[in-house]
Amino acid sequence: MIDPLVLLQAYSIGVFPMADDRDAEEVYWVEPKRRAILPLDGFHLSHSLSKVIRRDRFRVTANRAFARILALCAESADDRPSTWINHAIEQAYRHLHETGFAHSVEVWDGEELVGGLYGVALGRAFFGESMVSRRTDASKVALAWLVARMRFGGFTLLDCQFMTDHLRSMGAVEISQRDYLQLLGGAVGGVALGAGAVLSGSGAAAELAFAPLAGAAASPLPPILTVSGPVSGHSIAQLLTHTS
């Protein structure tokens, strides 16, 4: 079992766990020399993806089916016969979700869960752990939604861990470990990780970003975010193309 406090402390210094495969008993800690991040003001919203989002092709929720997203990410697929999410890692992130640190974005086609992502929020940083797609564009929609809501919540760092062609096409870049640690320090600086931290949640940024949008008339955010009620794809697309 991975101690939740140890896991959070690892994130705060740029380290995260992996396993060799789903049934592996051992977990090892990773600190990449080159880190993939997605600058929140550098997200690439393609014309085709914008149309999918604006037309509400999918229904998107947050923290409605965390355990199911985690399990879906851990499943083998044609393009991923094995997974680094073993049972100890799965259990640890389920616990972090219960205590307010791990979050999911779910993408639905009708009532069917067809994609999404999950990760850990700490301070103003979100550490993306895994994405999954069972429909064309489902994981891209989840990532677009995440970036929009992170901007809304005042986050400053979206950690993607390792670069992929998929992430690069959406605006991710690789930076050195040194540069990453500087960004990380600014995003999690001041977050206390003592014995009570596991019970205190991940902070105001995550509460704002992953909660339903409510009235925000006193906020300097775009007008599309000052209304209450469900968030439309049109509003998400507007936020992604908004410049301050």
Domains contained in the chain, CATH given: 4-212 (3.40.630.70)
244 pLDDT more than 60: no
Distance between CA atoms of 195 and 109, rounded to whole angstroms? 41
Q: What is the pTM of this model?
A: 0.86
Tell which wins on pLDDT, 196 or 214: 196
Secondary structure of residue 79 in the 3-state scheme: coil
Q: pLDDT digits over 96-132, tens only?
A: 999 889 999 999 999 999 999 999 999 999 999 999 9
The pLDDT value recorded for residue 76 is 75
The pLDDT value recorded for residue 201 is 63
Q: What share of the chain is helix, strand, coil (3-state, %, to 5)?
A: 40, 20, 40
Residue 181: CB atoms within 10 Å: 15
Distance between CA atoms of 239 and 231, rounded to whole angstroms? 11
The pLDDT value recorded for residue 241 is 79
Secondary structure of residue 232 in the 3-state scheme: coil
Tell which wins on pLDDT, 113 or 199: 113
Distance between CA atoms of 238 and 54, rounded to whole angstroms? 9
Q: Residue 185's closest CA among 49, 11, 50?
A: 11
> What's the first-to-final CA gap in the chain, in angstroms?
44
